[in-house]
């Protein structure tokens, strides 16, 4: 499944490294990354692909852990929610 990972919080060194390492360790492939600072908030959007045998719940739990460690809000949502809402 394809999913969108969004990371939001105060900018600090190592956010991308930590998030992408965690994804790598879970066998998640990063297809696209978009990073910007919106109203002083670091915002990163990644399009990722989970392997067929990857449990999204495990990936999400690991991301949650990193999020609380480095003080950013991380979420991973099935891409379909955005496609269905914004594309006819």
Partner 1 sequence: MINTREIMETIKMIDDQHLDIRTITMGISLLDCIDSSAERACEKIYEKIVRLAKDLVKTGEEISRQYGIPIINKRISVTPISLIAGASDAKDYVCFAKTLDRAAKDTGVNFIGGFSALVHKDFTKGDRILIESIPEALAVTERVCSSVGVATTKSGINMDAVKLMGETIKKTAERTADKESFGCAKLVVFSNAVEDNPFMAGAFHGVGEGDAVINVGVSGPGVVKAALEKVKGKDFGTVADVIKKTAFKITRMGQLVAQEASRRLGVPFGIVDLSLAPTPEIGDSVAYILEEMGLEKCGTHGTTAALALLNDAVKKGGVMASSYVGGLSGAFIPVSEDAGMIAAAECGALTLDKLEAMTCVCSVGLDMIAIPGDTPAETISAIIADEAAIGMINQKTTAVRIIPVVGKGVGEMVEFGGLLGYAPIMPVHEYSSFDFINRGGRIPAPINSLKN
Site of interaction with partner 1 (CB under 8 A): 1, 3-4, 6, 31-32, 34, 36, 38, 43, 45, 47, 56-57, 60, 75-87
Give the residue with the Cβ less far from partner 1, 16 or 47. 47
Edge-to-edge strands of the sheet including 72-78? 29-38, 41-49, 2-9, 72-78
Q: Say how far apart CA 78 and CA 86 lie, in whole Å.
A: 14
Rounded to 5 degrees, what angle do the CA atoms 46, 62, 84 make?
A: 40
Contact present, 6 and 78 (Cβ < 8 Å): no
Q: Minimum CB separation from partner 1 for residue 69, in Å?
A: 20
CB of 24 to partner 1, least distance (A): 20
Q: How far is the CB of 82 from partner 1 (least distance, A)?
A: 4
Measured from the CB atom, the residue of 22 and 74 that comes closer to partner 1 is 74
């Amino acid at each position: 499944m394809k999913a969108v990972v969004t990371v939001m919080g105060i900018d600090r060194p190592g956010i991308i490294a930590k998030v992408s390492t965690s994804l790598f360790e879970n066998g998640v492939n990063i297809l696209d990354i978009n990073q910007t600072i919106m109203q002083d908030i670091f915002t990163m959007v990644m399009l990722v692909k989970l392997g067929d045998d990857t449990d999204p719940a495990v990936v999400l739990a690991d991301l949650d852990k990193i999020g609380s460690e480095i003080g950013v809000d991380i979420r991973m949502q099935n891409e379909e929610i955005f496609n269905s809402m914004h594309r006819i």
